[in-house]
Structure 1
Amino acid sequence: MTTSTPGLRPVPHSIGPSHRVGDLHITEMTFQVPLAHAWEWSHDTPFGESDVYGLRDETVDLFARVVTHTGDQAHGAPEKRPYLVYLQGGPGMPSPRPLADHGWVSRMATVYRVVLLDQRGTGRSTPLTAQGLVARGNAAQQAAYLEHFRADSIVADAESVRATLTRNEPEKRWATLGQSFGGFITLSYLSFAPQSLLHSWMTAGLAPLHASPHEVYESTFDRVAERNHEFYSWYPEDRDRAVRIAELLRRENIQLPSGEALTPHRFQMVGHRLGGNSRVHGLHYLLESAFAEGDQRLSEAFLTDTHHDITFAGKPLYALMHEAIYCNGPGVRSGWAADQVRTSREDYRSGADPLMLTGEMIHPWYFREDPALRPLAETAEVLADKDDWGRLYDLDALSTNEVPVAASAYRHDMYVDYDHALHTANSVANLQTWTSETLHHDALANDTDQVLEGLGTILRETGAITQLPVDSDHTG
């Protein structure tokens, strides 16, 4: 049964300063919303723990930047353009900060008023910290608070922002652009508040609606292994380097600049760089720096860069809630699914040759070995064992969706399995898929022209848009 928003009203808000970055005009805004939105989703018991732990009256500050393009290539007066909210990947990552008037933000801002919303707990939106979370009480109390940081709550936040921004507008709906986890949020939006959407762009974010967390990671580890083999075919010398590094870490107690030990399995985490065409070659430059010439020790530069790659300092929300994004409703338990799959595979042992570098999977030993996460170890266990999550999607609503959706799916995406993505695409009415054999998870930022033209053409052909986003070098 579909449950939708009962007409959310504008929320308290303030308008901050405005700035210019080239041809981009950027206005800062802050909105105050409830921690636990008092409207029904398809949860069985959405507010039970909130009532028990006194969370119902808490509020969250949401920060957003509204970006418009004022250059000659922009279309129509800024105040006449529809709003588009960007749903960031993650979970637990802030919205991008515009650094120049080019790239996908600039292009979208030629035809939309782009809302770069920091999702709750990230950036300037009541940021979640390990220290602040611990101060809330025991692990059960912390988990009850964290339950309000999933896609359903993010959609409710977005609805409050939309109602506020469009309060004096003739068009009350807006468009969405969801990247990675932002695509998961889009599917929640289409499930519970489709009446608020003009159309949706989705990039590398077709959530696995029909797969358990364990099945998701079985596919993920397969894709990561394929990417490892591809990387080692480009850089055969790095296969030997990676094995040599792991062997050294098994023999010796080597510390990172922060003073914590670098274990072989933590070193494998640098494989997150394999997940995109814009950063994969950076992995080679990291590995080639591991040993100073003629030196059997790991270099200071390598240890410094590796620490930056593998710490969760400043981003505990990602580590705590990552597997929870795959738990759609009561009876679904993550149970450290990634760790279960990895443990069952010989090719991912830290002594294997070739050494399989890993991606964004979360393991329980993170919370023992990373000082930034140690205070949250018990909370992570509570979340991994939790099996009474609320629902994130309404499959019946998605099967009758009327909102035009254009979604990209990349055959070799390391983080969103292609087969699961197509199964999801076939379950959502009015959704058309644009695929690629060569693009990867970071294509929106790295291959902007291809992605926006591919998806934009679909939306234009459906009549959802009339003009493709353009930049100064491309007239669309």
Structure 2
Amino acid sequence: MSLLAQSFIDSGVRYTPHTFSVPLDYQHPDQQTIEVFARSVTSARGDDEHKPWLVYFQGGPGFPSPRAVATSGWMKRALQQFRILLLDQRGTGNSTVINHQTLAGMSPEQQAQYLSHFRADNIVRDAEFIRQQWNIDKWAILGQSFGGFCSLTYLSLFPESLLRSYITGGVPSISRHADDVYRATYQRTLDKNAAFFAQFPQAQELCQRIADHLLTHEVLLPTGQRFTVEQFQQIGINFGVSDSFVPTYFTLENAFITVEGKETLRYEFLQSMMMEQNFQTNPIYALLHESIYCQGFASLWSAHRVRQEFPQFNYQSDQPFLFTGEMVFPWMFDSYTNLKSLQKAAQILAEKNDWTDLYDSAVLGKNTVPVSCAVYADDMFVEMDISRETLKQIPNSKAWITNQYEHNGLRADGEHILDTLIGMGEQTAANLNLALL
């Protein structure tokens, strides 16, 4: 456990850290172990022991559970009828960490083999390990984005352990190839670009000026890493969340400064670009992102291959500029400082074709757990049509399809969203009970 992870009380809520030693590989549980960290969020009065547990699965992959107070948002609503367990998925947060430092002592082959145990199936097995250790009969789960992918894996592997499943912006295909996913998300990314440049037409000229400057000058970020057009394009990932257009425009507006009569990119702009590069601190996202779609096939750098079907994303001077979105590319392991030492492992993982199944369509096709989903119509990361396709195959699942929110709806208006999903789940449960009479 982190030395800083201590129990505390704030505003009537108790936050308690827990650490569990779990198998790295559940097929060989007597071999290597790792630590998994979770934080329980409960009433400080201790009067909620009758309430069931709700386990939260964070988006990503490669990011820890929220470090947020429970007096607002979805946690405020959840505490009305649940005790909460915030899980730091293996490799993140205070769980046994994966980054360029912890992987440094391994060969590329060892890195790839180790990383192959950090997908949704083992994240779910970690949660199930905790449930059994705590002797909990059943609990509910809430999955945001990639956490929703984990939720469908949980429903596939251990449906008998679940009371309810709530999913926000995270219903994946259970059978499609990654290429299908990226074809859809590239189209959504085009839509977001069109909307941004329609609102800020002058931003197109600014982006072209920045991109052309990067093509003709060696520009270094504060870390000393060379900043490229392709890296600049990747800040478009922000377009998948609400209220991102105006801050992006403000950043572009202040990109240049004149020094000794020459135009250059100002330090503040480069600092902000550096802060956008979460791949540096959370490499699981870059290393395993495409594998979250893989079941018995290799990704072979799916987003990179499919990008060639959308050549307008490959910027050339005097051509329109476009931002990219939630895609991972092989050049990142040549470009990003903290990913360079992981390049060979990334290639091994991209070529890995024996990924185990993450979903069981037969089990999901007989589902009896109430599944309530917020599906965002304009989601840049998780295609609505694919989500609807999946939910048609899962009995007792309901979708609330809305264009009121972007992918970050749970963070933007979590209290209302979770309240809606809980109500949907109660109605599904009531219908199930009626059917049994």
Q: Secondary structure at the match of 1:409?
A: strand
Q: Is the 8 A contact 2:65 2:87 kept in 1?
A: yes
Q: Tell me, in whole angstroms, the C-alpha distance in 1 between the residues paired with 2:390 and 2:44.
A: 38
Counterpart residue identity of residue 152, structure 1: D
- Please tell me whether the aligned partners of residues 58 and 64 of structure 2 are also in contact (alpha carbons under 8 angstroms): yes
Correspondences of 1:129-140 after superposition (within 5 Å): 129-136=99-106, 138-140=107-109
- State the distance in 1 between where 2:230 and 2:123 align: 33
Q: Give yes or no for contact 2:76–2:415 (8 Å, CA) kept in 1.
A: no
Alignment of 1:124-203 (within 5 A): 124-136=94-106, 138-165=107-134, 167=135, 172-203=137-168
Deviations 1:86-118 (A, max 9, x none): 011111100001246212122212211100010
Output aligned runs, 1:12-411, within 5 Å.
17-38=6-27, 57-69=31-43, 77-99=47-69, 101-136=71-106, 138-165=107-134, 167=135, 172-292=137-257, 296-328=263-295, 330=296, 332-351=297-316, 353-411=319-377
Other structure's SS at 1:91 match: coil
Structure 2: how far apart are the matches of 1:280 and 1:450?
24
Identify the residue that residue 50 of structure 1 maps to in structure 2: none
Q: CA deviation at 1:438?
A: 3.0
Do the aligned partners of 2:74 and 2:417 also contact (CA within 8 Å) in 1? no
Contact 1:289-1:302 within 8 A present in 2 as well: yes
For 1:453-472, list aligned pairs within 5 A: 453-463=419-429
Q: CA deviation at 1:464?
A: 6.8
Tell me how far apart the structure 2 counterparts of residues 218 and 247 of structure 1 sit (CA, whole Å).
Answer: 27
Cα RMSD of the aligned pairs, angstroms, is 2.0
The question of whether the paired residues in 1 share the 8 Å contact of 2:226 and 2:335 is answered with yes
TM-score under structure 2 length normalisation? 0.93
Q: Distance in 2 between matches of 1:285 and 1:25?
A: 40
Distance 1:409 1:182 in 2: 14
Deviations 1:202-254 (A, max 9, x none): 00010122321111111110001101111112222212111111111111111
Taking a change above 3 Å as real, the CA distance of residues 140 and 464 of structure 1, as seen in their structure-2 partners, is farther
Tell me the SS of whatever aligns to 1:81. Answer: coil
Structure 2 gaps, min length 5: 432-437
Which whole-Å CA distance do the structure 2 matches of 1:311 and 1:442 have between them?
17
Question: Matched residue of 1:388: which SS?
Answer: coil
Partner of 2:413: 447
Amino acid in the other structure paired with 1:454 = T
SS in 1 for 2:115: helix
- Seen in structure 2, the aligned counterparts of structure 1 residues 464 and 244 have a Cα distance that, compared at 3 Å, is farther
Mapped to 2, the partners of 1:282 and 1:422 lie a distance apart of 32
Helix, strand or coil at the partner of 1:211 = coil
Count of residue correspondences: 425
| Residues in 2 aligned to 1:306 and 1:287: alpha-carbon distance in whole angstroms | 10
In the TM superposition, what whole-angstrom CA distance separates every residue of 1:319-361 from its partner, at most 9, and x where no partner exists? 1000000002x2x110000011113322101227431111120
Structure 1 runs of 4+ aligned residues shifted over 6 Å read none
Structure 1 vs Structure 2: percent identity of aligned residues? 38
Distance between the aligned counterparts of 2:199 and 2:30, measured in 1?
54
Secondary structure, counterpart of 2:66 in structure 1: coil
Between 1:205-214 and 1:408-417, the stretch displaced more is 205-214
Displacement of 1:69: 4.2
In 1, distance between residues paired with 2:256 and 2:11?
42
In the alignment, residue 440 of structure 1 is paired with which amino acid?
Answer: E
